[in-house]
């Protein structure tokens, strides 16, 4: 019987590791992979959609959103969070979802195995 890897989703500020929050997410993901043999997907804002893969880790860039009409007063972070939530769902289920900062407005939708 094979060993099941813990699957972790991390929601970061930006997809590139350029600031304090992003560097914390980067280092925490490496610790989870090296010490717990976890599989980690990191979702972060970017100017285009992309997926970069390396051993047991994917960095998923979430590009700009255009599905909510602009000018009706909905904050861009709401739209970004909705697009991120959709991308997370497309990548499957997770054992742990760890949101960082104010970029994860839909985290509670995952409770109960959602």
- 60-85 pLDDT, tens digit per residue, is 999 887 666 666 666 667 778 888 88
Over residues 43-57, the pLDDT tens digits come to 988 889 999 998 899
Domain boundaries of the chain, sorted by first residue = 7-113
Q: Residue 110: which pLDDT band, with cuts at 50, 70 and 90?
A: low
Residues 6+ apart with CB under 8 A from 61: 15, 44, 45, 46, 48, 49, 50, 51, 52
- Tell me how far apart the alpha carbons of residues 38 and 46 are, in angstroms, rounded to a whole number: 24
> Which residues contact residue 72 at a Cβ distance below 8 angstroms, ignoring those fewer than 6 apart?
none
How do residues 4-13 score in pLDDT, each as one tens digit?
789 999 998 8
| Domain 7-113 fold | Rossmann fold (3.40.50)
How long a stretch of residues is the chain?
A: 114
Q: What is the DSSP code string of 28-81? A: HHHHHHHHH--EEEEEEE-SS-EEEEETTEEEEEE----SS-TTSS--HHHHHH
C-alpha separations of 110 from 22, 36, 60, 68 in Å: 22, 22, 18, 22
Determine the Cα–Cα distance for residues 47 and 71; give it in Å rounded to an integer. 20
pTM of the model: 0.81
């Amino acid at each position: 019987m094979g060993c099941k890897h813990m699957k972790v989703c991390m929601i970061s500020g930006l997809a590139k590791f350029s600031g304090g929050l992003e560097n914390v997410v980067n280092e925490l993901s490496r610790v989870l992979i090296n010490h717990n043999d976890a599989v980690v997907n990191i979702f972060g804002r970017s100017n285009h959609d992309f997926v970069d893969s390396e051993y047991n880790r994917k960095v998923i860039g979430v590009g700009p959103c255009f599905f909510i009409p602009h000018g009706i007063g909905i904050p861009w972070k709401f739209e970004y969070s909705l697009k991120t939530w959709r991308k997370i769902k497309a990548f499957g289920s997770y054992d742990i979802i760890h949101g960082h900062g104010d970029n994860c407005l839909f985290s509670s939708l995952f409770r109960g195995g959602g």
